[in-house]
Structure 1
Amino acid sequence: MADEFLADSQLRSWVSIQWENWPSFPLVVGVALTVATYYVKCVAKKPVLITGSKSCADFLQHHCPVLVQEYYPTVWCFTSRAHTLICGIVRDLADGKPPSYQQDILHTPDGGEIHLDWLDHHGNHHHGNHHHDNKTRPTVLIMPGLTGHSGSAYVARLARGAHKQGYRGVVFNNRGTNGVELKSARSYCAANTDDLHLVVSHVKTLYPDVPLMAVGVSLGGIILFNYVAKLGKDCGLVAAMVVSVSWNVFEGTRSLEETVNKLLFNRYLVKGLTTNLRRNRVVFDRHASVDVDHALQASTIGEFDERFTRKVFGYESLQHYYTEASPHRKVPHIQTPILCLNAADDIFSPLDSIPVEEVEKNPNIALVMTSHGGHIGFGDWLFPSRESFMDKLYQQYVDAVFKYGQELGNEEEEKRVDEMKVRE
């Protein structure tokens, strides 16, 4: 009994000493208030909306309320790298199984295959003043990032988001992704839009009376932007949205090759690319210009693109490929309404590489920038597993386009009215 009392007394004495050595309560409160003040003053901010069109700005602010509210990035991981990593990991764990897609295989002229995963909305849905069945249901084409596919958490969220609004979603899996073997010596790249053209034509053939829009994330966003710029009003889309695109591929690649970014992101992405290539190397071993073994040794995206991507697609050099791929060069050519979402701290797209001045000159483009959010992060408040800012903006924009899209694209009429007023 005496031993137990002695032990208990020693424990209380040790706890008392430790407590006395802790910072005083006022200091703890002061630090907490300082952090909270910094967060509210410097981190939580309304998104910035940049566009060359007053009607577009009014349309977005009216129909996408998330744009006029404060955005509170996830409190405990709002820095760019943490936001990118933690939001991705938490969502992968929280989202569980991907939706129950219906697979559709599109055969290409070169003997290849493109796998589309459809998430349809069964049942009737009222769209504005219209009643939609399967033949007229508005559809969203979803384009994943560099190593993404229909099973990736952020892609599944986009598909579910379209479904939640009563629309149809279809995921365009790039060739050779999602465990699918290549049937021809062709994969995918940021500058080539041929496969996207085939997919859009395929969807329009299946559902000729359906309004179609597209959303692209990261690499998917680059391809989509380049496609819309290339085909102009003949792109087959009523609108588009791109998220976390690298506007200047040279600058994005340079940023990813910085030491920390190389360790955290570059090597992970290259591993995904080389894994796909290793699984499909049999179709490339016969490709005269590609040394597969050399490509498999790549340690950065730049090296992989130099040794493999640009050669498969026939670009003279890496410089040539990246020049053709960079969306910032195509801004003046956009003729279809397109919403672009970037975080100012996205290491894949450095802030000074975003073509703000060019966007301001084109009434068909709207650029939304958040102060934080990382790359495809955009976590909201305390829990990254909740619907992110990206998810909310995407769902609101999709719904606005399909219900009130006639309000978009009135810039020419605005100009005509202004010109008439000047003459009078």
Structure 2
Amino acid sequence: MKKMFSPPWWAASPHVQTILPFIFKVAKPATFRQRQELPDGDFIDLDWLGQAQNGEPILVIIHGLEGNTESHYARRMLLEAKKAKIAAVVHHHRGCSGEPNRLARSYHSGDVNDLAYTLLQLKQYYPESPLFAVGYSLGGNVLAKYQGSKQQDSLLERAVVVSAPLTLAACAKRLESGFSTVYQRFLIKRLRRKMLNKINTPDLTAQMPINKKQLKMLNTFYLFDDQVTAPLHGFAGVNDYYQKSSGMNYLKHITKPTLVIHAQDDPFMTDDVIPSKDQLSPMVEYELHQFGGHVGFVDGGWPWKPKFYLEDRIIQFLLADDHKASVTHTATATNKE
């Protein structure tokens, strides 16, 4: 039976839910790295837990913006996969595995091609192993778009989307106000540092859409996406990027069982990310919780040793025998109809 999420009294705040897991990370199980060369001359790194044998499932973990295999949610998911005795692999976005990628381009919220390539490689090497995936935040949006754009051609048996910014423009605007600006400043600083390294790389300097002085002025996601993300990845501008990349547009086209989990108090989101029932495919199960923050969902323990809702729920859904999904809105009074 599905367990309902309820935060302990000391973790009811969305910011406690969001920040605490980042501070108190669990120990990561041992992984080994596989470098995957891409058709355009770039590369991405895959971090493996175990090996798929005798047709055992493989869980693909897709991290969020500037995340990696060390991210708190990736660590916990690797541990849960180990308990469940299934192989798991962290799919790194370009430039996120600790080494700069080779090309001027990077990754973005709607880039499904690298994920599709990883899944195709896995299916070729492990044809008998069912593929599952879980995507967090930006990685969740990528996963939602992959599921909806590929439809019957999706190589995934089941997928879980966690805290995804399914409506990118609204989420970018949300991060420009209140305490949410703290998260924006933290992430923008990391993105600017990465772009500065590329500007300073002789072979890439001429390909970059901005210079050092212009880069320093980009203090919001909207500006960064308009001046860097959109031109680097072939979009006409920031609005074109947000419209074409938002996962919300793809939910109704999903044909494989997919669970989408949101918290209504997520400081990265607004109610614009909450899909109406007619925006959901019958194969999408939607959970909207009143609390949980951004990729938090602390549901017990103590601040120095928190326990979490997500991992049990994710494994429960992915390994379920019944592949019939349903639409469920959980613990909120403001659902869209």
Displacement of 1:102 in angstroms is 1.1
Aligned equivalents of 1:284, 1:203: Cα separation in 2: 31
2:3 equivalent in structure 1: 66
Q: State whether structure 2 residue 16 is matched by structure 1 residue 86.
A: no
* Letter in structure 1 aligned against 2:39: P
Alignment of 1:272-291 (within 5 A): 272-281=190-199, 282=201, 284-287=204-207, 289-291=209-211
* Letter in structure 2 aligned against 1:179: G
1:77 equivalent in structure 2: 11
Q: State whether structure 2 residue 168 is matched by structure 1 residue 238.
A: no
Q: State whether structure 2 residue 181 is matched by structure 1 residue 266.
A: no
Does the CA-based 8 Å contact 2:262-2:287 persist in structure 1?
yes
Aligned equivalents of 1:308, 1:182: Cα separation in 2: 16
1:115 equivalent in structure 2: 45
* Letter in structure 2 aligned against 1:370: H
2:91 equivalent in structure 1: 172
SS in 2 for 1:246: coil
Q: State whether structure 2 residue 271 is matched by structure 1 residue 334.
A: no
2:331 equivalent in structure 1: none
Deviations 1:247-284 (A, max 9, x none): 2111111111013211x210001112122223333253
Aligned equivalents of 1:215, 1:295: Cα separation in 2: 33
Determine which structure has more spread, i.e. the larger CA radius of gyration.
Answer: 1
Does the CA-based 8 Å contact 2:257-2:325 persist in structure 1?
no
SS in 2 for 1:369: strand
Displacement of 1:319 in angstroms is 0.4
2:285 equivalent in structure 1: 366
* Letter in structure 1 aligned against 2:232: V
Displacement of 1:410 in angstroms is 8.4
Aligned equivalents of 1:314, 1:292: Cα separation in 2: 21
Displacement of 1:336 in angstroms is 1.2
Q: Evaluate the alpha carbon distance shift between residue 410 and residue 349 of structure 1 in structure 2; reply closer, same or farther with a 3 A threshold.
A: closer
Aligned equivalents of 2:160, 2:256: Cα separation in 1: 11
* Letter in structure 2 aligned against 1:116: L
Q: Which has the higher helix share?
A: 1
Q: Evaluate the alpha carbon distance shift between residue 276 and residue 382 of structure 1 in structure 2; reply closer, same or farther with a 3 A threshold.
A: same
Displacement of 1:296 in angstroms is 4.6
Aligned equivalents of 1:256, 1:188: Cα separation in 2: 20
* Letter in structure 2 aligned against 1:203: L
* Letter in structure 2 aligned against 1:272: R
Aligned equivalents of 1:382, 1:72: Cα separation in 2: 12
1:209 equivalent in structure 2: 128
2:323 equivalent in structure 1: 408
Alignment of 1:311-330 (within 5 A): 311-330=231-250
How many pairs were matched up?
323
1:59 equivalent in structure 2: none
SS in 2 for 1:227: helix
2:335 equivalent in structure 1: none
Which runs of 5 or more residues in structure 1 are unaligned?
A: 1-61, 122-132, 412-424
Aligned equivalents of 2:190, 2:319: Cα separation in 1: 34
Does the CA-based 8 Å contact 1:290-1:307 persist in structure 2?
yes
1:294 equivalent in structure 2: 214
Q: State whether structure 2 residue 112 is matched by structure 1 residue 193.
A: yes
Displacement of 1:292 in angstroms is 5.2
Displacement of 1:180 in angstroms is 1.1
Give identity over the alignment, percent.
Answer: 28
Aligned equivalents of 1:311, 1:177: Cα separation in 2: 20
Does the CA-based 8 Å contact 2:18-2:296 persist in structure 1?
yes
SS in 2 for 1:330: helix
Q: Evaluate the alpha carbon distance shift between residue 255 and residue 119 of structure 1 in structure 2; reply closer, same or farther with a 3 A threshold.
A: same
Does the CA-based 8 Å contact 1:292-1:308 persist in structure 2?
no
Aligned equivalents of 2:68, 2:110: Cα separation in 1: 19
Q: Evaluate the alpha carbon distance shift between residue 410 and residue 88 of structure 1 in structure 2; reply closer, same or farther with a 3 A threshold.
A: closer
SS in 1 for 2:82: helix
* Letter in structure 2 aligned against 1:211: P
Deviating more after overlay: 347-356 vs 248-257: 347-356
Displacement of 1:340 in angstroms is 0.4
Which runs of 5 or more residues in structure 2 are unaligned?
A: 327-337
TM-score, normalising length: structure 1:
0.72
Aligned equivalents of 1:136, 1:101: Cα separation in 2: 20
Does the CA-based 8 Å contact 1:305-1:318 persist in structure 2?
yes
Displacement of 1:81 in angstroms is 2.0
Does the CA-based 8 Å contact 1:83-1:373 persist in structure 2?
yes
Q: Evaluate the alpha carbon distance shift between residue 309 and residue 292 of structure 1 in structure 2; reply closer, same or farther with a 3 A threshold.
A: farther
Aligned equivalents of 1:290, 1:209: Cα separation in 2: 47
SS in 1 for 2:222: helix
Does the CA-based 8 Å contact 2:301-2:307 persist in structure 1?
no
1:225 equivalent in structure 2: 144
Deviations 1:7-33 (A, max 9, x none): xxxxxxxxxxxxxxxxxxxxxxxxxxx
Displacement of 1:293 in angstroms is 4.4
* Letter in structure 2 aligned against 1:366: E
1:125 equivalent in structure 2: none
Displacement of 1:141 in angstroms is 0.4
* Letter in structure 1 aligned against 2:8: T
SS in 2 for 1:269: helix
Displacement of 1:322 in angstroms is 0.3
